[in-house]
Structure 1
């Protein structure tokens, strides 16, 4: 089974009229409410530093989006820890507020597509400067909003020493605790039980202080197309489990998409996980850009049994793909390996 891509993709492309988004628009967080689809998309201009912002686009049908402003709705702070970039929004809602997790750096990453893999601009601030400064380490921040136009930054969610970007909140508390999926790059080797970074589940009482002693590995790469993995979109509730998309990267650097079902009460337990990917780069807008051969979902919503998946293509465009929820759930179950019992999270 493969997700069906919209024939009109890309749904958002760089806008030559706005200097802050004339190079790339990708990796959109998504939300659906009261008949409207919202995309909080990553945007960057052709400046040398590659400063990264968020723009806002809205749609009535989930396919045709209109930009809501000629200015970013959320930008790097002028002098804070996220002064370098804000990127890859994931959105959930508690009560009246939308909670947006986003990746950031203290300094702009530079034109990373001209550098070696996983490299960004760094500057030597002296031998006594902390690693987060000298290595320009990526962390994850949390912001809240009621309208996707004005935001309150709540600060860093993850440990300073960790390069932890794919941080995704569950949309509900699990046994009274907040839960997130994260992918610390440094958690590899014999002590962690994985050769490459894996997806972990971590719990919190207050959404800002996360108890890493509770962290449990959810999955690591198992198939050839997912040598490296990371979380993609916020888990969605279904009667069969938390429907969760993730990305896999093969040894040639190609990004594809898989899906899994996590237990509703113990989401560290994988009920089923696809052996085969459900989406891969196929078209020019996915294979020719700042990162060639990349489909990277960051937003998904369910409307009337249809799953809408919003993704970045080649780090330069936004696309959407769809499927019926029950068909995808059935495929995950039928395309899954036998899985051993996993550790229960003590909530």
Structure 2
């Protein structure tokens, strides 16, 4: 009978409704009978306010909200910039009135008011200043706010040689990144358009003159040049819309270098993820030449459909978001291996809502091959299985934490072991769950659930961060030797 001692850390993470970001607030853009928009009407009323009332209203706004955000002046200035097109001479407006207009078109959003869950954990880039046997980690968390919109938050901490966890106190302030267009790879861009069945004469006219690596501005110029070529824009409308969609779905998001990790919130900024960025699975990936990059796969949700996407970073300050491509890049829960297998990228995934698959590719952004490697076999996982993060390398094989769904839709964590050289071979499978929701974890927004997006191995310890019932997150650990013995015994 399998018996693996599990140690639950005292560290707990719960939603904090006080953690807020700011977002543009744009009232419904209905047009009134006299032709003006609602936003224009609001601005007109602000413009009619006496100077003294402008000053007192702005001061009251500052007193109530200024301490809740870093750089509040720039936040209000951006709010003004969002609606300045409604004014004939915006540059002539006094600074105080500009900021007040910005305040009327800005609102707070509580990023984790609904839930904080589904963490993943990786070794941090900076391992300086630690005691012997300690390791610093970065943990990502899925934060869920109003409208059930998911974003990605971070925490940091230290695990010692016996598995004790110390979490760094998070900053109260939260900031979102600045979105910038990346440099696009022409071959990748074309391949995605072909996958979308959108490569046609219009796209070729736009893309053929572009260099192999082009900017968003160069793409826009090529689209505008369609007019010079006598192309009716109404005919090309749908194709142009798809190219804009694809370009906007691939972007960079950067944070101030002096911001702290726990302040940074990756909030949806692309059209594929407008309703959420779910369940990021981070992995510390080592290239063949020894360089390290951090990848994360996540589920992008636009309110109708889901798509797997990729995050790339080296410093957790600047992030690149990219679409994943190919017929195998589908469903939820793709998790990359931490290195190449035989000079190819590898990932575990779920293609059909029930089983675990292995994917191999020459390009981390394109996946066309998927082979089923595990089906539900134990009573606690008969409904469906999936991975719970990237495979972890041990001398005995690739240790994959899994999740299984059993009676009463209870989610539990399990594990399988894959062959190091041929990870399509499952060489071990736990007979019983590794972690189940206990009495303190089973009740919540989604009851009877424990779920992880990835752990790490430190010394001889398997460290697993996990979410419970969409109410919070915690950390558990077990001896790697105990887990491997149960898998292979």
Name the counterpart of 2:427: 271
Give SS of 2:476's match: strand
User: How far apart, in 2, do the equivalents of 1:296 and 1:106 lie?
Assistant: 23
1:12-36 Cα distance to aligned partner (Å, 9 max, x none): 1101212111221111121123231
* Equivalent in 396, 401, 404 of residue 245 of structure 1: 401
Range 318-327 or range 89-98, more displaced: 89-98
Name the counterpart of 1:12: 13
1:54 to 2:221 alignment? no
Q: Evaluate the alpha carbon distance shift between residue 183 and residue 230 of structure 1 in structure 2; reply closer, same or farther with a 3 A threshold.
A: same
User: How far apart, in 1, do the equivalents of 2:275 and 2:327 lie?
Assistant: 18
1:196-275 aligned within 5 A: 197-212=354-369, 215-227=370-382, 228-275=384-431
CA positional deviation for 1:289: 1.2
User: How far apart, in 1, do the equivalents of 2:318 and 2:116 lie?
Assistant: 20
> Any stretches of 5+ residues in structure 1 without a counterpart?
108-135, 187-196, 335-347
Name the counterpart of 2:118: 27
1:165 to 2:165 alignment? no
* Equivalent in 85, 89, 98 of residue 294 of structure 2: 98
Give SS of 2:482's match: helix
Give SS of 1:326's match: helix
Name the counterpart of 1:312: 467
User: How far apart, in 2, do the equivalents of 1:5 and 1:140 lie?
Assistant: 33
Give SS of 2:446's match: coil
| Number of residue pairs the alignment of both structures matches | 288
1:293-323 Cα distance to aligned partner (Å, 9 max, x none): 0000112111111110011110221111101
From the CA coordinates, give the structure whose radius of gyration is larger. Answer: 2
User: How far apart, in 1, do the equivalents of 2:443 and 2:166 lie?
Assistant: 22
User: How far apart, in 1, do the equivalents of 2:394 and 2:18 lie?
Assistant: 42
The answer to whether the 8 A contact 2:329-2:367 is kept is no
1:328 to 2:488 alignment? no
1:46-195 aligned within 5 A: 47=146, 49-61=147-159, 62-67=165-170, 70-71=174-175, 72-77=264-269, 79-92=270-283, 93-94=285-286, 95-107=291-303, 136-157=304-325, 159=327, 162=330, 164-185=331-352
CA positional deviation for 1:160: 9.1
User: How far apart, in 2, do the equivalents of 1:317 and 1:150 lie?
Assistant: 27
CA positional deviation for 1:211: 2.0
Name the counterpart of 2:72: none
TM-score between the two structures when normalised by the length of structure 1:
0.79
Q: Which structure has greater helix proportion?
A: 2
The answer to whether the 8 A contact 2:328-2:351 is kept is no
> Any stretches of 5+ residues in structure 2 without a counterpart?
20-109, 128-134, 160-164, 176-263
CA positional deviation for 1:161: 9.0
User: How far apart, in 2, do the equivalents of 1:245 and 1:161 lie?
Assistant: 21
CA positional deviation for 1:157: 4.3
Q: Evaluate the alpha carbon distance shift between residue 3 and residue 53 of structure 1 in structure 2; reply closer, same or farther with a 3 A threshold.
A: farther
The answer to whether the 8 A contact 1:143-1:155 is kept is no
The answer to whether the 8 A contact 2:4-2:482 is kept is no
- Give the ranges of 4+ consecutive aligned residues of structure 1 lying more than 6 Å apart after TM superposition: none
1:41 to 2:132 alignment? no
Q: Evaluate the alpha carbon distance shift between residue 277 and residue 158 of structure 1 in structure 2; reply closer, same or farther with a 3 A threshold.
A: farther
User: How far apart, in 2, do the equivalents of 1:16 and 1:101 lie?
Assistant: 26
1:302 to 2:457 alignment? yes
User: How far apart, in 2, do the equivalents of 1:224 and 1:65 lie?
Assistant: 39
CA positional deviation for 1:3: 5.1
CA RMSD in angstroms comes to 1.8
TM-score between the two structures when normalised by the length of structure 2:
0.56
